[in-house]
């Protein structure tokens, strides 16, 4: 018992000594003004750098708004599955029809039968129906197509935009049009836009990546991707890497200081059970603005001497699957017309 009390008093005494020593150091530091690390930049330099970045965003937004097309008109609305439309034939009111566009894009009209209207504007649908009635039934028909309920035309804008959200897709629009719809880029925006799209013949979405510098600054108009209903347009913040394929959590991840490729893969949850660690692809923009695909393996990435070990803004890391059916499941690259597309179709469980 005496030994325990002695130890307890000794510990209490040491604790109090540490507290008084800390207070003494704090007082001494305040009295001397403190030394601390030496500054490496002035406040004016930091503000100038930040202002330069914001000025660059403002210039991009100015060019963006100047390049967008005119506001869409109701007659330009693209018909899609589920839309409720009313069709009037002025020369024959008995042919008036109210119907929905079916899952395969067709409507059924009196006398004519099934007619495919999906993907047509209201004006194009009117012309098509007029031509069909003119062939057999009416001499000079005039048709009106009125959209009573819009179901299919929606796009989603996410990320570093001034006004992200879900918008009605009224007509054929391109990437710059919908970025302007989101009121332009925010001050934190990076220089790559991702367009995620579900293709009809693909069970998994494909992500297209567009370089804004090449599109807006260099005027490469072929990169102004046409947007479709159902697309998700995402603008990552500056300093992001995109990890996809056979990883546990595919997506965009912020680049930390001196972040390596293995660390980027770890941020995405690491390799999945089907990953081929010897088949990793790095997609990176070169000094000319073109994208290059580099074949790597985890063995390569663990060699500190590799020059491409650290990730850069706008890098894409893709881990292939190790399944025998890798020809059917895995990376789908689309590098053409200035647009880079990457998609992943996982193997069956």
201/226 Cα distance (integer angstroms): 18
Query: What is the model's pLDDT at position 143?
Result: 94
- Per-domain residue ranges of the chain: 74-149, 153-344
The one-character DSSP state at 213 is I
Domain 153-344 class, CATH top level? alpha beta
State the distance between the two ends of the chain, measured CA to CA, in whole angstroms: 65
Query: What is the model's pLDDT at position 17?
Result: 53
Is residue 77 over pLDDT 80?
no
220-240, pLDDT tens digit by residue?
A: 888 888 888 888 999 988 888
Report percent pLDDT > 90 for the chain: 23
pTM value is 0.60
271/57 Cα distance (integer angstroms): 36
Beta-sheet pairing, 275-285 with 143-149: unpaired
Domains 74-149 and 153-344 share a fold: no
177-222, pLDDT tens digit by residue?
A: 899 889 888 888 888 899 998 876 666 788 888 888 888 877 788 8
Q: Which of 169, 164, 190, 168 is nearest to 179 (CA)?
A: 164
| Average pLDDT over all residues of the chain | 76
Q: Under CATH, which number does the domain 74-149 receive?
A: 3.30.1950.10
Q: How far from 99 is each of 81, 85, 274, CA to CA, in Å? A: 11, 6, 47
Lowest model confidence (mean pLDDT) among 43-57, 151-165, 179-193, 209-223:
43-57
């Amino acid at each position: 018992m005496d030994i325990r009390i002695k130890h307890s008093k000794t510990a209490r005494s040491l604790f109090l000594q540490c507290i008084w020593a800390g207070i003494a150091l704090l007082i001494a530091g305040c009295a001397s003004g403190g030394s601390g690390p030496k500054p490496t930049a002035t406040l004016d330099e930091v503000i100038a750098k930040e202002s330069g970045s914001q000025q660059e965003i403002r210039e991009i937004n100015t060019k963006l708004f100047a390049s967008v097309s005119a506001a869409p008109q109701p007659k330009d609305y693209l018909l899609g599955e589920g839309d409720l439309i009313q069709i009037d034939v002025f020369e024959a009111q008995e042919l008036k029809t109210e119907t929905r566009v079916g899952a395969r894009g067709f409507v059924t009209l009196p006398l004519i039968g099934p007619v495919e209207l999906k993907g047509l504007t209201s004006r194009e649908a009117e012309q098509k129906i007029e031509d069909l009635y003119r062939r057999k039934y009416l001499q000079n028909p005039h048709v009106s197509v009125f959209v009573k309920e819009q179901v299919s035309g929606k796009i989603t804008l996410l990320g570093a935009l001034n006004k992200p959200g879900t918008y009605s897709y009224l007509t054929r629009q391109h990437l710059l049009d919908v970025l302007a719809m989101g009121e332009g880029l925010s001050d934190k925006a990076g220089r790559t836009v991702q367009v995620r799209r579900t293709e009809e013949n693909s069970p998994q979405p494909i992500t297209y990546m567009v370089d804004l510098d090449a599109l807006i600054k260099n005027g490469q108009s072929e990169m102004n991707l046409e947007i479709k209903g159902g697309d998700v347009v995402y603008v990552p913040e500056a300093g992001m890497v995109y990890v996809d394929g056979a990883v546990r959590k595919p997506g965009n991840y912020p680049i930390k200081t001196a972040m390596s490729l293995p660390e980027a893969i770890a941020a995405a949850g690491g390799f999945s059970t089907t990953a081929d660690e010897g088949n990793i692809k790095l997609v990176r923009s070169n000094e000319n603005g073109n994208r290059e695909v580099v074949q790597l393996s985890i063995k390569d990435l663990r060699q500190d001497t590799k020059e491409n070990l650290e990730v850069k803004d706008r890098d894409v890391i893709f881990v292939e699957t190790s399944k025998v059916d890798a020809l059917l499941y895995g990376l789908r690259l689309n590098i053409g017309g200035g647009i880079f597309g990457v998609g992943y179709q996982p193997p069956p469980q």
